[in-house]
Amino acid sequence: MTRRLRVAVIGAGGIASLRHLPAYKQCENAGTAELVAVCDPLAENTQRAQETFAIPHVFADYRELFKLPGLDAVSICTPNVSHEPISLAALEAGLHVMCEKPLAMSLAGARRMYEAAKQAECRTAVNFRYRWIPAAGFVHDILQSGELGEIYQVYFNYFNGSLHDPATPIRWRQVRAESGTGVLGDLASHLIDLGRYWIGEISSVNARLRTIIRKRPLIGGGTGEVDTDDSCSFFATFSNGAEAVFNASRFATGRGNHQRAEIYGSKGALIYEIEKHDRGGDQIQLCLGSGQARYNAFATVPVPPEYLSCNPFRPMIDFVDAIHANREASPNFADGLHCQEVLEAAEISAREGRWVALPLKG
């Protein structure tokens, strides 16, 4: 049997507690990895993680963590601003890196991370986790089979209502210096990754970003300025000729984690939709062939059993398996970099009020 990989999680907040820490615990049970350390400057977060997941070592500074003997890999679950410095330091220390999305604060940053990983010959992963939802894998294989014919149009929505209340205080996601972009990098990045996974590379974008409420309470008292987008919409073309509309918003009152795609092709169409806690991810709506199309009929199709082992822990499980097998994980830093290029193109487009072609120069 192969040696268990020694893994640490950096940042012990929301996504670490919900996905990364329990995922590595699953790997521990499967005998493929061992969760050896957690790192966060907030003692209450490391203490909670240590107690919940029985983690032997705790660190407040990732530079100290990297001195831990025998460490193989890290998951980076910190706010976006520290993805690049922590990744570069981890790669320099020879560690395999899974990083949260969006990969970086800018395209230049994502390029540096991608190049550093190549140089270090380390495995990488990015937690665009919706690829691993059963219905997303099913949609991917239907599209690959060509059963829908030529894809004409795709409509993507990703909505929640987390900012619709003006009394909701500013957190790091509403501060450009900590997050880079707002909803664009936070929610639309997932849709961009699904678009690339299902349809192909994006060749141009025309975007609009909007900050709906500009002033919000600060957690310590007083009022602060929101300088990230609350909602974003963009038209996009794919290099295979398909056209798409992407919408993402935190002002979608009543929505929890609503993600939907409608895909229309020359021979058929499908609808993918999930709600809070990925509910609905085990079925799609499918209209296949002229018979159904004549009656404008969509059938509810359960996702076949072979896709149902996909779950929110699979990105980390795949990362660990990829290191053992010496293969690329999916999605990885190359995917994070491609996504970052679309994010940057959307920002340029919104700022300058024009279509922007991809790939970007420079």
Ligand X SMILES: NC(=O)c1ccc[n+]([C@@H]2O[C@H](COP(=O)([O-])OP(=O)(O)OC[C@H]3O[C@@H](n4cnc5c(N)ncnc54)[C@H](O)[C@@H]3O)[C@@H](O)[C@H]2O)c1
Interface ranges with ligand X (CB under 6 A)? 10-16, 39-42, 45, 62, 77-80, 82, 100-101, 127, 129, 186
Compute the least distance from the CB of residue 223 to ligand X, in Å: 21
Q: What is the DSSP letter of 360?
A: P
Compute the least distance from the CB of residue 28 to ligand X, in Å: 21
Compute the least distance from the CB of residue 18 to ligand X, in Å: 8
Compute the least distance from the CB of residue 217 to ligand X, in Å: 17
User: For residues 12 and 148, which CB has a smaller minimum distance to ligand X in the complex?
Assistant: 12
Q: How many CA atoms lie within 13 A of 112 on its CB side?
A: 13
User: For residues 46 and 349, which CB has a smaller minimum distance to ligand X in the complex?
Assistant: 46
User: For residues 4 and 101, which CB has a smaller minimum distance to ligand X in the complex?
Assistant: 101
CB 88 within 8 A of CB 112: yes
Phi and psi of 321, rounded to 5°? -60, -40
Compute the least distance from the CB of residue 189 to ligand X, in Å: 8
Residue nearest to ligand X (CB): 13
User: For residues 174 and 204, which CB has a smaller minimum distance to ligand X in the complex?
Assistant: 174
CB 284 within 8 A of CB 270: yes
Compute the least distance from the CB of residue 132 to ligand X, in Å: 10
Listed in order, strand segments (DSSP E) in 177-333 are 202-210, 215-217, 223-225, 231-238, 243-249, 258-265, 268-274, 283-288, 299-302
CB 55 within 8 A of CB 79: no
| Residue 19 amino acid letter | R
User: For residues 238 and 319, which CB has a smaller minimum distance to ligand X in the complex?
Assistant: 319
List C-alpha distances in Å: 323 to 91, 122, 147, 300.
14, 8, 34, 38
User: For residues 13 and 280, which CB has a smaller minimum distance to ligand X in the complex?
Assistant: 13
Compute the least distance from the CB of residue 86 to ligand X, in Å: 6
User: For residues 197 and 238, which CB has a smaller minimum distance to ligand X in the complex?
Assistant: 197
User: For residues 41 and 289, which CB has a smaller minimum distance to ligand X in the complex?
Assistant: 41
Listed in order, strand segments (DSSP E) in 202-280 are 202-210, 215-217, 223-225, 231-238, 243-249, 258-265, 268-274
Compute the least distance from the CB of residue 80 to ligand X, in Å: 5
The CA dihedral of 200, 340, 41, 171, to the nearest 10 degrees, is -100
Distance between CA atoms of 121 and 170, rounded to whole angstroms? 39
Distance between CA atoms of 108 and 123, rounded to whole angstroms? 20
Distance between CA atoms of 122 and 330, rounded to whole angstroms? 14
